[in-house]
Amino acid sequence: MLIKIFSIYLLSIIIFSLIFILIVLRLKKVLPQVVIPMIIFIILLPIPIGYLYYIYVDSLPELTVPDLAGLKYERAVEKLREIQLEGKKVGEVFDMKYLEGRVVSQRPEAGRKVKIGRIVNLLTSSGKRKVNVPNLLGRPEVQAEAVLAAEGLMPGEVGRDYTPELDQDIVLSQNPLPGEEADLGSRVSITISSQSQEVIEVNNAATTEESKENEGGGFHLW
């Protein structure tokens, strides 16, 4: 304890001495009646500063930071308040080990000794990893599937649109759109070009027939 107080005292004297020297150099001429009080001030000022530090900072009881990893953020904050510490969320990060909203890491770390009222920064899990949906427009269907796989996404529903001016199986539209965020492993639906009008007509006919069946309650009288 005495070593710590003495260290603070010496550090304060050094700081105030440097300030005094800078003032002297700036004024270039200092009267003796000013120098002596300044020296006394430099020597005595660290005493009340050290006293205040000891009373309001150093004398505070220390606590051991608990291990909060894996806890829900709300529960972690509550647990810290129970021992007179404060929790603060500083961000999110993807972590396969923890569910969304669970504490991934903390600072100060578990087991550290800190003063009462210290803020503990908490980093929580973002849950599923987010990826940007790639641009599939204008790509062949096979290539689009390879691009999705490389980004950790999966192909979804595939629609067809009669487009004779384009090659077969070119991606015309997609959902979600390029650049949007999607969960890792989610599906991306696409519409591709078709040079066969029969496919479109068959699909339309099937849709019309299904609508008629729904209107008739699904029953047919023969």
pTM confidence score: 0.45
121 alpha carbon, distance to own chain's centre: 13
Angle at 149 between CA 97 and CA 175, to 5 degrees: 100
Lowest mean pLDDT: which of 32-46, 88-102, 159-173?
A: 32-46
Are 62-125 and 131-206 equal in CATH topology? yes
Q: Encoding tokens for residue 35?
A: 């120098």
The per-residue pLDDT for range 183-205, each reduced to its tens digit, is 888 999 999 999 887 655 445 54
DSSP letter string, 187-203: EEEEEEEES-HHHHHHH
What pLDDT is attached to residue 107? 94
Query: How many of the other CB atoms lie within 10 Å of CB of 192?
Result: 22
Q: Which CATH number fits domain 62-125: 3.30.70.260, 3.30.930.10, 3.90.1200.10, 3.30.10.20?
A: 3.30.10.20
**Where do the structural domains in the chain lie, given as residue ranges?**
2-58, 62-125, 131-206
User: What's the whole-number average pLDDT of the chain?
Assistant: 80
Q: Which CATH architecture has domain 131-206?
A: 2-Layer Sandwich (3.30)
Percentage of the chain exceeding pLDDT 90: 45
